[in-house]
Amino acid sequence: MYGLKKDWVLEKKPRVCVLEDYMGAEARWCPGCGDHAVLNSVQRVARDLQLAPERTVVVSGIGCSSRFPHYMKTYGFHGLHGRALPVASGIRSRRPDLDIFVVTGDGDCCAIGTAHWIHAIRYNMNMTVLLLDNNIYGLTKAQTSPTTKMTERSNTHPRGSFFVPIEPISVVLGIPNASFVAQTVDWNPPHLYETIRAGHEHRGLSFIRILQRCPHYTSHVFAEAQRDTSRILYMRHPEGINLPDAMSKIFKNQVEHDPSNISEARDLAREDAGVLPIGLFYKKPDALRYDEVTAEGLKMSAAEKIEAINNALDRFMV
């Protein structure tokens, strides 16, 4: 504008998001539910990494854990039972600019969603997948889940489950092209936070199993490990998930584990060892990513897309 002095021009201040910018509706999980700790950690990670709320999306299926999108002030998709991962993969294929979190449960992911789970790991599209595993179907009131321990009683197995439970970490470590596999617990907020943050900073699909307490149905399952840290095996390595010395020293059992060693990771993941390992099992930064393929052509003009379609159809001319 004519006559406008340069010193009158206002400089746009950099945007700074605070914790409240990520807080959605008040969480309605039961008091003492481990989901509260996971929600708090995800919100803190979003704030500390300054993820723009309008460019962040949380996708879920069905279950207690899948209420997560309602409690984040971001975009969200509360999907169908077991279908969180294909929805998230579709979002990633069209919107490579978004930060994507997938929240699922042991029933949602490891039962009805098993096929999607396996192929999502293989596709290795860039997203952070949080498996909240409380060893039970909680929302539908205590049915045996794929991770329920043998002899544990439920409404579907009142005399105790006779199935050997699925080991989610071992399953993922057996899927080709897995690129980030970690485990943590909801009752250790520092380790929970660091694990989720490391998973988000990884370029590819980060699979994080979170051992999560259900105060109503499986409060006893992880009670001993919560009281006695000798039941936890803390995996440490410069390339892994590490805590400050003041926090890490509470773990009596520790092991130096190189996350590039998948054979050793598979040995550590076996749940018959009597301890619960936490940390980064495996990481492969150069694993192939399918979202880099699906992103091809996103910037094509309408005319270019029509031409490409016509060229493709010409191949079928007789």
Q: What is the mean pLDDT of residues 65-89?
A: 97
CA distances for 20 relative to 9, 24, 47, 67, 73, angstroms: 30, 8, 9, 18, 8
> Is residue 171 in some structural domain?
yes
281: closest CA among 178, 131, 197? 178
59: closest CA among 138, 128, 154, 114? 128
CA distances for 13 relative to 16, 17, 18, 51, 189, angstroms: 9, 12, 15, 17, 33
> Is residue 37 in some structural domain?
yes
What single DSSP character describes residue 36? Answer: H
Report pLDDT digits (tens) over 182-219.
Answer: 999 999 999 999 999 999 999 999 999 999 999 999 99
- Name the pTM for this structure: 0.92
What single DSSP character describes residue 268? Answer: H
DSSP string, 217-229: TSTTTTHHHHH-G
State the residue for tokens 């940390």: 279
Distance between CA atoms of residues 222 and 46, nearest Å? 28
> Is residue 182 in some structural domain?
yes
CATH of residue 172's domain is 3.40.50.970
Report pLDDT digits (tens) over 40-68.
Answer: 999 999 999 999 999 999 999 999 999 99
36 CB-contact burial (10 Å; exposed 0-12 / middle 13-18 / buried 19+):
middle
**Average confidence score pLDDT of the chain:** 94
284's CB contacts (< 8 A; 6+ apart) are 178, 179, 180, 204, 260
134: closest CA among 186, 169, 172? 186
Residue 187 has phi, psi (to 5 degrees) of -90, 5
Distance between CA atoms of residues 200 and 226, nearest Å? 26
178's CB contacts (< 8 A; 6+ apart) are 121, 122, 124, 172, 205, 207, 282, 284, 287
Instruction: Provide the pLDDT for residue 197.
Output: 98
> Is residue 16 in some structural domain?
no
> Is residue 202 in some structural domain?
yes
Residue 185 has phi, psi (to 5 degrees) of -130, 150
Instruction: Provide the pLDDT for residue 96.
Output: 94
Local confidence band at 236 (pLDDT 50, 70, 90 cut-offs): very high
Instruction: Provide the pLDDT for residue 317.
Output: 86
Domain membership of residue 201 as a residue range: 25-314
HSE on the CB side for 217, CA within 13 Å?
Answer: 22
299 CB-contact burial (10 Å; exposed 0-12 / middle 13-18 / buried 19+):
exposed
Instruction: Provide the pLDDT for residue 11.
Output: 76
What single DSSP character describes residue 29? Answer: S
Question: 56 and 101 in contact (C-beta within 8 Å)?
Answer: yes
- Looking at the structure of the chain, the number of domains it has is 1
Task: Please list the residues that pair with 254 across neighbouring strands.
Answer: 234
Task: Please list the residues that pair with 128 across neighbouring strands.
Answer: 101, 206
Report pLDDT digits (tens) over 250-296.
Answer: 999 999 999 999 999 999 998 776 899 999 999 999 999 999 999 88
Residue 1 pLDDT more than 80? no
Instruction: Provide the pLDDT for residue 12.
Output: 78
